[in-house]
Amino acid sequence: MPPKQGQNTPHMSVVIPAFNEEDRLGRTLTEASLFFSIKPYVTEIIVVDDGSKDKTIKLVMKAFNDREMRKLKNIKPYLKRHTFNQGKGAAVQTGIKAASGSHVLIIDADGATPISEFDKLYKEIHTHPIVIGSRDIGSEDRTLQGILRKVIGKTARMITKLLFNLPVSDTQCGFKIFETTLAKQLAEDQITKRFGFDVEYLVKAHKRGAHIKEVGIRWHDKAGGKVDPIKDSFRTLKELLKIKKHI
């Protein structure tokens, strides 16, 4: 049960990892802030800058200090900074450790999943400690990736299934809700720092007996991504093998 409106304790913590996202993060921040400002509880929005070299930090500071943004009710903005790039998983870990809400929503900086899809996941949090968005189930509107990334994504899913046999079809969608207590436990001894963290969290949670609910969501590929399909695929494979070895 969320706190009543007006109370100062956050109910939801929104973690947004960001690396060189000056062109895409602004809209995501605005939409998330407006969306949660009308909810009947306090939401903290935690942006974790992962050593950006562009104007990401200036953009976040400007957005959080904007006069209209400061007028929004029920929003607590925070910026955490890494002095050098460590990886998306490391940024998420920092955000989770800073979270004080009862639940943590992790979203991508590009806003590929509309923030309104949160309501679909939120309906499930009372019966599932982890609720994840999925691009593989349901009939929601989606704009899929180019052929190379589609092939790499499909291959990664097959490898993940073979290695871990997780009861989910889409481990990598950047739209997930965790019960905060569990999220902090998963982040405490995190061994992956880049794109393998999603699988690490789900594998550890599944082994603990935590129920994972997968919900079909809308998703649209956004231009300007920093992922190198080949290089990051090999990095992720190394992290998956590390997870298999140590967990």
Amino acid sitting at position 238: K
Mean per-residue pLDDT for 100-119?
97
Instruction: Band the pLDDT of 33: cuts 50, 70, 90.
Output: very high
Cα dist from 137 to 3, 59, 142, 159, 218, whole Å: 32, 35, 11, 19, 10
Contact 155, 132 (CB under 8 A): no
Does the pLDDT at position 6 exceed 60?
no
Mean per-residue pLDDT for 209-223?
91
* pLDDT the model gives residue 36: 98
Task: Record the pTM.
Answer: 0.93
Does the pLDDT at position 202 exceed 60?
yes
pLDDT tens readout for residues 42-74: 999 999 999 999 999 999 999 999 988 889 999
Q: How far apart are CA 110 and CA 113, in angstroms?
A: 8
Mean per-residue pLDDT for 202-229?
88
Q: What is the CATH number of domain 10-246?
A: 3.90.550.10
Instruction: Band the pLDDT of 4: cuts 50, 70, 90.
Output: low
> Which region holds residue 165: left if phi is over 0, alpha if psi is between -120 and 50, else beta?
left
Q: Report strand pairing: 175-179 vs 130-134.
A: antiparallel
Contact 217, 134 (CB under 8 A): yes
pLDDT tens readout for residues 167-190: 999 999 999 999 999 999 999 999
Mean per-residue pLDDT for 1-26?
86
Provide the residue ranges of all domains of the chain, joining segments of one domain with +: 10-246
pLDDT tens readout for residues 92-107: 999 999 999 999 999 9
H/E segment holding residue 95: helix 88-98
Q: Print burial letters for 183-197: b (CB count within 10 Å at least 16), e (below 16).
A: bebbbeebebbbbbb
